[in-house]
Chains A and B, each alone.
Chain A
Amino acid sequence: MSLWDSLMAGLSLVATFEAFFALFAGICIGVVGGAIPGLSATMAVALTLPFTFSLQPITGILLLLGVYKGGIFGGSIPAILIKTPGTPASSATILDGHPMAERGEAGRALGMALWASCTADLVSNLSLILFAGWLASFALSFGPPEFFALILFSLTIIAGVSGESLLRGFLSALLGLLLATVGLDLVYGTNRFTFGDPNMMGGLNFIAVLIGLFAIPEIISMAWNPVAHLGKARALGQTKVTFADYRRSFRSIIRGSVIGVFLGSIPGIGAAPSAFLSYSEARRKSPNKENFGKGEIEGVAASEAGNNGVAGATLIPLLALGVPGDVITAIIIGAFMIHGLQPGPMMFILNVDIIYGLFIGLIVSSVFLFFVGSVAIKGFRFVADIPKRILMPAVLVLCIYGVFAVNNNIFDVGVMFVMGWVGYIMLRYRVPAAPFLIAFILGPLLEDNFRQSMLMSGSDPTILLRGPITWFFWTLTVVTIVAIVRSVVRKARSAV
């Protein structure tokens, strides 16, 4: 099928009212979800997932992608107004956005956040369209040893989502890998930690584990301290962003977009490190570097470009290799699977109409994001006025319905509750949940590909180094581990 045919097939799939309405609704939900501190883009995507079960695959996936993109931008609204990032990705936006809000320039900061987000989003989507197909055709030559090396490399990047302590992130990932061993053994068909319960033979439900880890701990935290969230939103102010502001920050926006695309295309890094790297590069190169941290609009632009540049690019490894780039795409991969689609190189052959339909939808999403974001900036006060002590019980009820709906199984609701308490203990002990989830998803893939490689080679481990692709990923893994060790040593020395 030629590029033109593929494009037309995608257009025929996506050019419906339902598909565009789903994308638009997704962006609205995402902006609102991202703008409510404690709800986050991740939770918004997770809570929307069950609503996609009855939709057409393309409509459901566009709904989730809309929530994702809206959520990443929405997180900047509370970051600027109340110094609380709606998503971890918006953490860097606080540095200059909140000082601007304190000066009465919240409207200007939010306007720049929106413009930078839309620009970076467009750059990221174009990168996805240009590179995903190329990467997928390359990935067709992957066998179990190549996938093992790739997934091992993806796991090393867990360091990027480990937060303040690498060891705690490592422990979290190990617990995720251990939990992923529950179920029937794929080679011999024997039981592993199933306790004779048929519900556990297929392993724990991914959606139940995910919602349990991310949504339920927030609800338990609310029980611990029901008044912890109380705070005041600030006024938007009269000043607005101008085209001169945008032109002055354009270099930082493009640089941040490229950083976002590069980091987003590597599985496991996510938007927050990208936003901080983009911010630090903008600060290093800017003629106004002394204003950074005190309310510099270029800082807001760089942070938002960095985190939104990731949004489209995280879909590159998802669509091309079937490997989720971050937690949110890990949820979106669940939507693909529920609709009987397996992301990866074969999807570019078997479901090319869906791939191109998604590309078209993503380009349109940047336009929708601009209009929805403009309205959201003005309307945030109403969203923020939803009392959190009403919102959280509603989230709990939605979680119960959503998790049950995946398999029509009450057992999954129990798994969600148990994982919620595990997530809460992790929260209390500052163990990051993201490595746990990424390892839980990648664990079975890692083990299966390792064992398939061993079966192929008659247990000869040299098969894991059988060609240039495996060498490439092993080299990347070693380089990443060396970089991690160096940064830990440097951090330890600076602490002394």
Chain B
Amino acid sequence: MSPKVIQFRLGIGACIVAAFLTFIGIPNWVSSPSNVQNIVLAPTFWPYVLTAMTGLAGLGLILVAGHASQDDEGEDEEDASGNPWLRLAALAAIMIATMFALPRIGMVWTTMVVFALTAFLFRTRHPVTALICAVTIPLALYAFFAHVAGVAIPQGNYVRLP
């Protein structure tokens, strides 16, 4: 992406965020008592000030985009081999599945699977090492956090560790 495209997209994004917060976000999700004596003490004051500044920063970025270079400088789709979007989607799916699995099957087993899946997603050239690490690293971390640091690591509903 060229600096021009980056600045322009960021500017548009910032303006959309500012408009969303002004008209929907703050009125609906920030509660303010009706008896506030002074506007500067209201819980909505600070979010509105920051939102206004975000809008201004967005407008500034759009204005600056007009003078920015159009030369493509950064890495883009063509720099990444295979299908990078598919890998990103797979990583997002792994993260969502992690959130679902953590309380159900426990942190140790979930992270073992997460380690193995991400190592293969990253196309590791050391699959055996990856599998060994996928088992040993979560176990070692469990041993430290559960038995040394005294953290109640989620054990899940099926197989519980000592």
Chain A residues proximal to chain B, CB less than 8 Å: 50-51, 53-54, 165, 167-168, 170-171, 174-175, 177-178, 181, 185, 187-188, 190-195, 219-220, 222-228, 387, 389-390, 392-394, 396-398, 400-401, 404-405, 408, 410, 413-414, 417, 420-421, 428-431, 447, 450-451, 454-455, 459
Contact indicator B29/A174 (Cβ below 8 Å):
no
Q: Cβ of B105 < 8 Å from any Cβ of A?
A: no
Q: For residue A195, which residues in chain B have a CB less than 8 angstroms away from its CB?
A: 29
Contact code string B11-54 (vs A, CB < 8 Å = 1, else 0): 00010000001000100011111001110110100110011011
Candidates A181, A185, A187, A429; contact of B10 at CB < 8 Å: A429
Minimum CB distance partner of B99 in chain A: A414
- Interface of A: prevailing SS: helix
Minimum CB distance partner of B95 in chain A: A417
- 28 A-B interface contacts by CB (under 8 A): A171-B10, A174-B50, A181-B46, A181-B50, A190-B30, A192-B31, A195-B29, A219-B118, A220-B91, A225-B79, A225-B80, A225-B81, A226-B81, A228-B79, A387-B129, A389-B119, A389-B130, A392-B122, A393-B133, A394-B115, A396-B115, A397-B141, A413-B98, A414-B99, A417-B95, A431-B10, A455-B41, A459-B40
74-113 of chain B: CB within 8 A of chain A: 74-75, 79-81, 84, 87-88, 90-92, 95, 98-99, 102-103, 107, 111
Q: Cβ of B70 < 8 Å from any Cβ of A?
A: no
Candidates B38, B47, B151; contact of A192 at CB < 8 Å: B47
Instruction: Output the residue of B1, B14, B46, B142 with the most chain A CB within 10 A.
Output: B46
A489 to B10, CA, bound (A): 22
Minimum CB distance partner of B154 in chain A: A410
Closest 3 CB pairs of A and B: A54-B149, A185-B43, A190-B31
A480 to B118, CA, bound (A): 45
Contact indicator A187/B80 (Cβ below 8 Å):
no
Candidates B53, B90, B122; contact of A393 at CB < 8 Å: B122
Closest Cβ of chain B to A400, distance in Å, is 6
Known: A171-B58, A219-B118, A394-B137. 7 other contacts (CB 8 A): A54-B149, A178-B21, A225-B75, A226-B81, A401-B142, A410-B154, A421-B92
Q: For residue B130, which residues in chain A have a CB less than 8 angstroms away from its CB?
A: 389-390, 393
A447 to B43, CA, bound (A): 10
Contact indicator A220/B137 (Cβ below 8 Å):
no
Q: For residue A227, which residues in chain B have a CB less than 8 angstroms away from its CB?
A: 81, 123
Q: For residue B37, which residues in chain A have a CB less than 8 angstroms away from its CB?
A: 459
A53 to B41, CA, bound (A): 37
Contact indicator B149/A50 (Cβ below 8 Å):
yes
Candidates A193, A225, A413; contact of B99 at CB < 8 Å: A413
Contact indicator A451/B133 (Cβ below 8 Å):
no
Candidates A188, A429, A430; contact of B36 at CB < 8 Å: A188
Q: Interface residue count for B (Cβ, 8 Å)?
A: 76
A454 to B36, CA, bound (A): 13
Closest Cβ of chain A to B13, distance in Å, is 8
* Contact status of A408 and B151, CB under 8 A, knowing A223-B122, A225-B80, A392-B122: yes
Contact indicator B119/A393 (Cβ below 8 Å):
yes
Contact code string B125-138 (vs A, CB < 8 Å = 1, else 0): 11001100110011
* Contact status of A54 and B88, CB under 8 A, knowing A392-B122, A405-B145: no
A394 to B154, CA, bound (A): 19
Contact indicator A191/B32 (Cβ below 8 Å):
no
A397 to B139, CA, bound (A): 11
A195 to B30, CA, bound (A): 9
Candidates B50, B80, B151; contact of A177 at CB < 8 Å: B50
Contact indicator B149/A53 (Cβ below 8 Å):
yes
Contact indicator B107/A400 (Cβ below 8 Å):
yes
Minimum CB distance partner of A176 in chain B: B50
Q: For residue A447, which residues in chain B have a CB less than 8 angstroms away from its CB?
A: 46
Candidates A53, A188, A408; contact of B152 at CB < 8 Å: A408
* Contact status of A187 and B43, CB under 8 A, knowing A53-B149, A405-B149: yes
Candidates B40, B47, B133, B151; contact of A405 at CB < 8 Å: B151
Contact indicator B43/A188 (Cβ below 8 Å):
yes
Minimum CB distance partner of B149 in chain A: A54
* Contact status of A389 and B32, CB under 8 A, knowing A413-B99, A454-B38: no
Q: For residue A171, which residues in chain B have a CB less than 8 angstroms away from its CB?
A: 10, 14, 54, 57-58, 61
Q: For residue B30, which residues in chain A have a CB less than 8 angstroms away from its CB?
A: 181, 190-193
Contact indicator A400/B111 (Cβ below 8 Å):
yes
Contact indicator A174/B47 (Cβ below 8 Å):
no
Candidates A178, A397, A430; contact of B111 at CB < 8 Å: A397
Minimum CB distance partner of A174 in chain B: B54
Contact indicator A178/B75 (Cβ below 8 Å):
no
Instruction: Output the residue of A187, A392, A397, A450 with the most chain B CB within 10 A.
Output: A397
Contact indicator B99/A417 (Cβ below 8 Å):
yes
A349 to B107, CA, bound (A): 42
Closest Cβ of chain B to A203, distance in Å, is 13
* Contact status of A174 and B103, CB under 8 A, knowing A167-B64, A192-B47: no
A166 to B58, CA, bound (A): 12
